[in-house]
Amino acid sequence: MSSSSTEDSSSSDATLFTKWSRRFSQVTGLGLSEEERVESNRRTCEKWKAEMMHYSPAVVFMMKHLKHSGCDVSFQNLEQSVDWNNLRHHACSEIRANSLSGDCRLRREFDRGFFSFSKQHQACVRRRAVLSVRANPACPDEATAERVVNEVWESCFNDTRPFDEIY
């Protein structure tokens, strides 16, 4: 084997390893700087958003109705001004999102290890809303998160706009 073919082979191996290493870092987040990690997450989020806007029946439905009303923003931001530091706004948004998104369907809850024959959907929506509000920096403790979710529960859980009902 000549020295030039050995050099080409090692150069090719180095390039392949560099590509593999970069992809591994992107997938796992290991070895990335904070800026690279943020950019990688942003690209992934944008890719998922584009897929959802084209292939998710619920999102396609929402986009159709938003375009019909002349808007390109999310329905909730269109309807009212949302202050994410206001725990009541955050709780209401989470209640609606968990209830309307299908994330609390029986099968998903069963897969997570949560199962109940009575009011399973409501328990899931409430549990996930409390967890999200608790993660808000403006929320001092879990008791406050539970209290805020309970305060807005009736009006927000029953608000299924723009859908006629929950499927």
Predicted confidence (pLDDT) per residue in 100-128, tens digit: 888 888 777 777 877 777 788 889 999 99
Higher pLDDT: 162 or 94? It is 94
Length of the chain: 167
The DSSP secondary-structure symbol of 158 reads T
* pLDDT at res. 80: 56
Residue 8, pLDDT score? 63
151 — pLDDT class (breaks 50, 70, 90): very high
Measured CA to CA, the distance from residue 2 to residue 10 in angstroms comes to: 13
Instruction: Give the list of residues 6+ apart from residue 2 with CB closer than 8 angstroms, or none.
Output: none
Residue 138 to residue 117: CA distance in whole angstroms? 35
Q: What share of the chain has pLDDT > 70, as a percent? A: 87
pTM metric for this prediction: 0.55
Of 157 and 3, the one with more pLDDT: 157
Burial per residue of 104-129, b for 16 or more beta-carbon CB atoms within 10 angstroms, e otherwise: beeeebeeeeeeeeeebbeebbbebb
Instruction: Say what the alpha-carbon torsion angle 19, 22, 26, 27 is, to the nearest 10 degrees.
Output: 60
What is the per-residue pLDDT for 115?
75
Instruction: List, for residues 14-36, the tens digit of each pLDDT value.
Output: 788 888 887 887 777 777 788 88
